Amino acid sequence: MKKKRFWRYFSLFLLILAALSLIPTVCVSAAKKSDKFVKDRSSEFVHANGTDIIGIDGEKFTIKGIALGNSVWNNKINYNHHTEDSYKELSEMGFNSVRFYINYRFFEDDHAPYKYKESGFKWLDKNVKWAKKYGMGIIINMHCPQGGYQSSGNGMELWTDAENQNRLIALWKVIAERYSDEPTVWGYGLLNEPYVPLLNTMEESAEQYFELTDRIAKEVRKVSPYQALFIECLCNARSIDGEKSPDYDWFVPENTFPKIDDENVIYEFHCYAPFYFTHQNANWAGTDGITMTYPSEQIVSAEYENSWVGCLTADSVNTDSDWTYFESRKLQLSNRYNVASAVLYAHESEGTSYFDDITVTEISPSGKKKTLYFYDFNEGNIMGFYPWSPDGTGVLEVSDNGRNKSDCLKISGNRTALTASADKFILKKGYSYVVSGYAKSDATDSKPAIRLDYSKLSSYSMLNKDYLESEIKPYSDYSEKYNVPIYMGEFGVISEGFEKGRNGAGWVSDIIDICEQYRISYNYHAYHETNFGLYANNDAELPSELNKELEKVLREKLR
């Protein structure tokens, strides 16, 4: 009996030993299974693959998004900015995603750092739910970080106060962990339009941004291995003391993109070229009174061989009341110059000069006349005249003291002679050009003048599709060189650009065509805001005032 019991216990002992010996094998097998599971899960999320972006169906696709700006400037959540119906509408239009702007204050207060408000996450959760319902993705974009909004250059405290960077990194880690298991969240835009303090060199200046981006990316990846990182190029730099200016020629993709050691990065740039068209007639953008039409023969970029060759001054023809009419002789293309502009000249004087109905006439070789430019300054519009005086004095403004009870341009306060130059235009072979207009002055010792100034350009670009392509193609080249996907995270035209035949819709159409040509993903700015919105009514109210011209072109292109 004792013998049987011994062998029974001994057999049980051997079984236990055998079971224990299998544990490492089971663990290794489970680990391998777990690794495989992690790798397989990446296919459930939008991700980068070389220059391509791969969808959750495993197919290459183009991001076609629109910005939900969320009234981030107000520093609090605006529940009227958009609704579930907005997602339904955008999906039906053909958009497949939204770029969702956030302000850190949605989640955290400055007086309580690292204590996160659930209200911000509930709003974001609701949007993720809506996006999923209508088959759209969300790209969460940090538009206003701790330390201040970047694009204006006023958010320097993000860079000068290390604690602001620590808070930004911590907040991103919390956001990324919350949505790490949600394929509807396509990725994280770590910082919108970064604008750093200007240090000794541009390389040192940029390194501030590169280092912060790397820190955020590493922390995000600890909790969120699947979502794409949307990394923008450096936007700008400014001198804290105001004594230095950045080297603007340095701002090319090769220099401004951080090199992130991560395979799932989508590199982002924005396009509002040319600024004077996309931001026209906006006092907050410094373009008040400037309007442009697309396309046109207006010169938007140029290299000068000789910035000023000479001028042709208009002669006084007759005086009507206190206004004198001036008209110049004909100006023709020369091997010494190839571009000209209308210029208004106010002599050094304590008086005030007035100008009205300035006209540039183009005369064909057959003698046919065409009004190339006409400046009447009505509706408070200075029409793109740019002042210059040796001592910087003098003010340009619209006055109601014009001819025939209309508006005119007024120049006053200049202690030295002042010239106000309009946009330059190209002189065509065989054509002639004449400038004319009216002027008067209340000064007795000097009279104003109207003239054509001419210069020599070595190269130039006009406001057309070729120019837009030249602005975008360097980013496509960067994509090919480094085998990474590229994304135009913002493009758009201010509401003024859709008025009076200025053809903002044509600009939008051409931008999308260029993106499709070069396989660039894109995102329109914006859905609902007074300046750039598809809905341009006050964003404190629900969307109501639809820009029908913009809607039409977006539907056509997205279809």
Per residue in 105-117, pLDDT (tens digit) is 999 999 999 999 9
Over 80: is that where the pLDDT of 433 sits? yes
What is the C-alpha separation between 354 and 410, in angstroms, rounded? 5
**Helix-helix angle 504-517:465-482, to 10 degrees:** 30
* Amino acid identity for residue 447 in this structure: K
Over 60: is that where the pLDDT of 27 sits? no
pLDDT of residue 404: 87
What is the C-alpha separation between 208 and 197, in angstroms, rounded? 8
What is the C-alpha separation between 91 and 94, in angstroms, rounded? 5
The string over 521-532, giving b where at least 16 C-beta atoms fall within 10 Å of a residue's C-beta and e elsewhere, is bbbbbbbbbebb
pLDDT of residue 40: 53
Percentage of the chain lying above the pLDDT 70 cut: 92
Over 60: is that where the pLDDT of 151 sits? yes
Instruction: Identify the weakest region by mean pLDDT among 127-141, 274-288, 456-470.
Output: 274-288
Rounded to the nearest integer, the mean pLDDT of the chain is 92
pLDDT of residue 28: 34
What is the CA 59 to chain-centroid distance, rounded? Answer: 29
pLDDT of residue 319: 82
Confidence of residue 156 (pLDDT cuts 50, 70, 90): very high
Residue with tokens 């105001």: 242
What is the C-alpha separation between 413 and 391, in angstroms, rounded? 11
**Alpha carbon distances (Å) from 455 to 26, 310, 345, 417, 559:** 81, 7, 17, 20, 46
> How confident is the model over 528-534, as a mean pLDDT?
97
pLDDT of residue 318: 87
Cβ–Cβ < 8 Å for 504, 550: yes
Over 50: is that where the pLDDT of 24 sits? no
> How confident is the model over 194-203, as a mean pLDDT?
97
pLDDT digits (tens, 9 = 90+) for 221-253: 999 999 999 999 999 999 988 778 899 999 999
Over 70: is that where the pLDDT of 309 sits? yes
pLDDT digits (tens, 9 = 90+) for 373-382: 999 998 777 7
Over 50: is that where the pLDDT of 282 sits? yes
Over 60: is that where the pLDDT of 10 sits? no
Question: CA-based angle 271:275:278, to the nearest 5?
Answer: 80
Q: Which tokens go with 24?
A: 């490492």
Confidence of residue 302 (pLDDT cuts 50, 70, 90): very high
Helix (H, G, I), strand (E, B) or coil at 508: helix
Confidence of residue 34 (pLDDT cuts 50, 70, 90): very low
Percentage of the chain lying above the pLDDT 90 cut: 84
What is the C-alpha separation between 559 and 541, in angstroms, rounded? 29
